[in-house]
Amino acid sequence: MSTRRSTLISAAVAIALMKQAAPAYSQATSATPQGGVEEVIVTGIRGSLQKSLDVKREAEARVEVVTAEDVGKLPAHNVADALRSLPGVNISSSSADEGGFDESDRVSMRGTSPSLTQTLINGHSVGSADWFVLSQGNNVGRSVSYTLLPSELVSSVEVNKSSQAKLQEGGTTGTVNIITRKPLQFAKTLTTEVSVGGVRSDQAEANDPQLSGLFNYKNEGGTFGVMLQAFKQKRSLRREAQEIVGGFFEITGRDGDGNLTPVGINNPDLVGVRAPGLVGATLFEQVRDRKGGLLEVQFRPSDNLTLGLSGFLSDMEADNYNRNFMLWGSAFANSQSPLPGYTVENGVLTKATYAGEAGRNYAVYDMIYREATAKSSYVTFDADWQINDTLSSKVQVGTTKGEGQTERQYIAEVNLASGGGASWTSHGNGSPLDWSVGGDITPAGVTGFGTWGNQQVTAKDKEDWINLDFTQDMAIGPLTSLDFGARYADHERESLSPEGATPGAIWPALQNGATSRYPSGFASSIGGNFPRDLWYFTPKALKEAVVNNSTWLSNDDGPDGRHNYGAEWLVAEKNFAAYVQGNFAGNEWSGNVGLRYVNVDQDISSYQAVTDAANADVSSLFGNWIYQNASNKHSRVLPSANLKFNMANDVVFRFAASQTQTLPDFSALGASSWGSDLTRRGGGGNPNLKPVLSTNFDGNIEWYFMPRGLLSVGAFSMDLKDYIAFGTESRMLFSELTNQLEEYQVAVPVNSNGQVTGVELTYEQPIGNWFGFNANYTYSDGKTAHTWADGSNNLVGNSKDTYNLGAYFENDTFGARVSYTYRSEFLIGLSGTNPYYQDEFGTLAIALSYKPTEWLSVSLDALNVNDPEIKYYQSAHIPTAFYTNGRQYYLNVRTKF
């Protein structure tokens, strides 16, 4: 007998025994009046919990639900935060190599990559892009940035864990559908809601405004309505960290020409040992200013026809300044012998001291100020038509766009600590390195200056689509209705780098520019002994020096131009799908069976670096390239089936089986090869990748033992065919340091296979009229046939253990909710060509509310109350980064008329 089947049977027996012990209580508190028991209807936290469970219980497939009241009462300030406490849902705070932040940004399911989870709004795609420069070009997935989606938009959120033929394909592991409010759904003719408040970011020592409002009108006859929502939400953040940029490098004991260095001659025991390349004291500051709105119009010209027009925009300014003062290990540890007393443990140079050598720099300092934006928008037209008594249809036509842009980058890289020597001591992946450098590290001690990367980067995401959906009611035996329809979408994702600046005499203008200091107590909460009392050029001084002493060239394609073709690529996809789904019902059972046909045409464009300009299609200061194009066609039939069986009045058994498909990440397909001159490592795309195909099985038993009460036990498995992993190969790329092609080790995506199996447990129960608690736990065991460079077979994003604990209190005036979310360590992806991981992570949130009248409420939400430290590592012996972001407190006053 399989483990999954055994688990489900055991759960069924346990629930049956518990029911025998508590039948009277379960029936006496039913929400439906029985035996003279009065029906009790509540709102707020309790009402929203009951509504969510009702939707979950009645659904024909495996669904988790968050309602608008839940969002209003949870400490949630974007939609991802609102989903954090659901079983089987994993949250991460970043999309690429920008490191850990204090706001949820990506959603994934059951221990898989966010790219395998699809996000929709009202059942359609939403164009998305990111503010971070690497996520705009080198690391572009198919997931949506939730930082652009404020929680105020939500009427409800449905998380579909099992597939149905009528659901849009793309979510291998599941689909998140964000449902907005509609004007004809409001009870009153006029409704106005206004929220005024602010957020306190304690580590940033900043207070920022938070504003949102809603106006809804519908006429007396309920035939016309218009709703307008608007928001403007600003937030300052400051992240303090130690980063080991690029991880640890391998000491070869040889120089670039293959000659032995003093290390190779005098310290052969260090050859093959790893040492920190760049260890930094990192200060990141940013202001995120998110503004936008949602417009919904509905018109019902007849009883059987409803027309709708919807428009949404979220535009976020996200200027940021990153300062990283670094011990430059890769500049000396491969060529200079350490002093006696160094230690090597587990292949790592854990302790070393280097005497100062004249003319050698032991520190490098990067200061990068970026002007960045990200925005998302859509416009849709809907028509719901009841054609006759048994046939209904819904037509939806729409377009959506996303754009992320780093318009300007103002960058200074200075060399310091000349002749001063350096030392470090590492302590494994649990705590930061202790390190120091000697010599002059003030502005007067700068021995070299460089500026690079002040290149514009733009990411564009666009889709146009039409959906045609029909439902034919039937009564042929157990067949109750037939859903059928088709969808066509034209999608493009593009990365552009059309212009940049030719730097002039920046350093003479900058060296006497205004400076400031790192904040007092910088990075005190992460520990470690390393430089903290540091200076930096102010953003204004850096920007003015670069702007006033650079020549910005727009769309210049000649050999002297700044068009970086090597950073550009385009993935264009035309997607046609058609489906048929039969819905069945019998005595105490129901379900559906369906087929979805999917046909995808892909065109992928990028550039390949070449040596000879005479053979190149295009040239610029960044090198010579030839144009590359690849085409793919993928067609497949995806079956699905869902069965729901009412074992008793309050016990539901579900079983689901399906095949689902997700196309590879956009950058995995299209990205041109790129590399770092410092590490000679990089990445690139593979246009020959196949889609990920998953064969899924899901079983669950749910006992609704009382109103707002649930005990649920389930198991799932996913067999991932053509899962996307990463291998390594050598590629010749253009080097800005040598102005010629050089050999780089490049991480390249490849198809492999994977497997995920797991268990989900959920328990929710009220205590009396006012109190309640909830808990859930997900175990997910994921493996891939691919072997990473560290010898592991981990799936990207797979946390074996995820759990949520929560409790609430609510009466007519006061409310309080506390929640704690935990996920164990998981593979992030590759740093250079090395796998790296995020360590286990838990966060505590508290929400308090006071409602003195029906029209006025006050709330105080506290996020990251435990001030969690976010840790990244390459192995048990090699750390990658340690971040702290502080706590955030949101105070809001809401009125509703």
d(CA 323, CA 553): 27
- Whether 26 shows a pLDDT value over 50: the answer reads no
Least confident of 26-40, 298-312, 860-874: 26-40
Give me the pLDDT at residue 99, please. Answer: 80
3-state secondary structure of 829: strand
What pTM was computed for the model?
Answer: 0.90
Q: Calculate what percentage of the chain has a pLDDT beyond 90.
A: 67
Per-residue model confidence (pLDDT) at position 832: 66
Backbone angles phi, psi at 134, to 5 degrees: -70, -35
pLDDT higher than threshold 50 for residue 629? yes
For residues 97 and 830, give the distance between their C-alpha atoms in angstroms, rounded to a whole number: 9
- Place 18 in a pLDDT band, splitting at 50, 70 and 90: very low
pLDDT grade, residue 22 (50/70/90)?
Answer: very low
How far apart are the two ends of the chain, measured CA to CA in Å?
Answer: 59
The single-letter code of the amino acid at 843 is: T
What is the Cα–Cα distance from 153 to 178, expressed in whole angstroms? 9
Which whole number is the average pLDDT over 105-123? 89
Mean pLDDT of the chain: 88
Most confident segment among 86-90, 613-617, 832-836: 86-90
Q: What is the pLDDT of residues 210-226, one digit of tens each?
A: 999 999 999 999 999 99
Tokens of 625: 């390239």
Buried b (16+ CB within 10 A) or exposed e, 730-742: ebbbbbeeeeebb
Strands 174-180 and 117-121, bridge-based pairing: parallel
Q: Is 490 exposed, middle or buried (0-12, 13-18, 19+ CB in 10 A)?
A: middle
Q: Which residues contact 526 (CB under 8 A, 6 or more apart)?
A: 240, 241, 242, 431, 432, 869, 882, 883, 884
* Interstrand relation of 681-683 and 674-676 (parallel, antiparallel or unpaired): antiparallel
Tokens of 479: 């067949």
Determine the average pLDDT of the residues in 4-27. 37
User: Which of 492-506, 605-619, 675-689, 837-851 has the lowest average pLDDT?
Assistant: 675-689
Asked if 459 and 492 touch (Cβ cutoff 8 Å), the reply is no
Closest Cα partner for 601 from 634, 628, 629, 579? 634
- Residue 521, Ramachandran bin (φ over 0: left; ψ between -120 and 50: alpha; else beta): left
Pick the CATH number of 42-896 from 2.40.170.20, 3.60.15.10, 3.40.50.2300, 3.20.20.70: 2.40.170.20
Alpha carbon of 282 to those of 86, 98, 364, 541, 880: distances in Å?
34, 12, 12, 19, 12
Q: Give the model's pLDDT for residue 738.
A: 65
* Closest among 681, 683, 495 to 606, alpha carbons compared: 495
Residue 56 pLDDT class (50, 70, 90 cuts): confident
Alpha-carbon distance of 601 to 614, in angstroms, equals 33
Per-residue pLDDT reduced to its tens digit, 339-375: 999 999 999 999 999 999 999 999 999 999 999 999 9
In angstroms, the Cα distances linking 741 to 398, 678, 685 are: 45, 15, 18
- Nearest to 726, CA basis, from 681, 695, 680: 681
Q: 702-747: per-residue pLDDT in tens?
A: 999 999 999 999 999 999 999 988 877 777 666 666 667 777 777 7
pLDDT one-digit tens code per residue, 559-588 = 778 888 888 999 999 999 999 999 999 999
What is the distance between the alpha carbons of residues 362 and 333, in angstroms, rounded to a whole number?
Answer: 10
pLDDT of residue 126: 94
Residue 156 in tokens: 């409800």
Which residues on neighbouring strands pair with residue 245, listed in sequence order? none
The average pLDDT across 86-106 equals: 80
Amino acid 485 reads G
DSSP state of 6: H
Report phi then psi at 12, rounded to 5.
-65, -40
pLDDT for residue 749 is more than 70? yes
Q: Are strands 589-610 and 535-537 parallel, antiparallel or unpaired?
A: unpaired
Locus of tokens 């959506």: 400
What digits encode the pLDDT tens for the residues 446-477? Answer: 999 988 767 889 999 999 999 999 999 999 99
What is the structure's pLDDT at 69?
64
DSSP 208-255: EEEEEEEEEEE-TTSSEEEEEEEEEEEEEEEEEEEEETT-EEEP-SB-
pLDDT tens sequence across 777-822: 999 999 999 988 888 999 998 999 999 999 999 998 999 999 999 9
What's the burial of 554, exposed, middle or buried (CB within 10 Å: 0-12/13-18/19+)?
exposed
218 within 8 A of 187, measured Cβ to Cβ: no
Per mean pLDDT, which range of 163-167, 247-251, 415-419 is the poorest? Answer: 247-251
Stretch(es) of the chain classified as CATH 2.40.170.20: 42-896
The confidence score (pLDDT) of residue 50 equals 84
Answer yes or no: are the C-beta atoms of 255 and 263 closer than 8 Å: no
On the 0-12 / 13-18 / 19+ scale of CB atoms within 10 A, 258 is exposed
Quote the tokens at residue 229: 């929502």
Q: Using CA atoms, how far apart are residues 293 and 215, in angstroms rounded to an integer?
A: 11
Do residues 764 and 709 lie in contact, with contact meaning Cβ atoms separated by under 8 Å?
Answer: yes
Question: At 85, is the pLDDT very low, low, confident or very high (cuts 50, 70, 90)?
Answer: confident
DSSP secondary structure letters along 523-565: TGGG------S-EEE-HHHHHHHHHHTEEEEES--STT----G
Asked if pLDDT for residue 701 goes beyond 80, the answer is yes
**Which residues lie closer than 8 Å to 557 by C-beta, 6 or more apart?**
563, 618, 619, 620
Q: How far apart are CA 34 and CA 400, in angstroms?
A: 49
**pLDDT at residue 159, rounded to an integer:** 92
Position 683 scores a pLDDT of 67
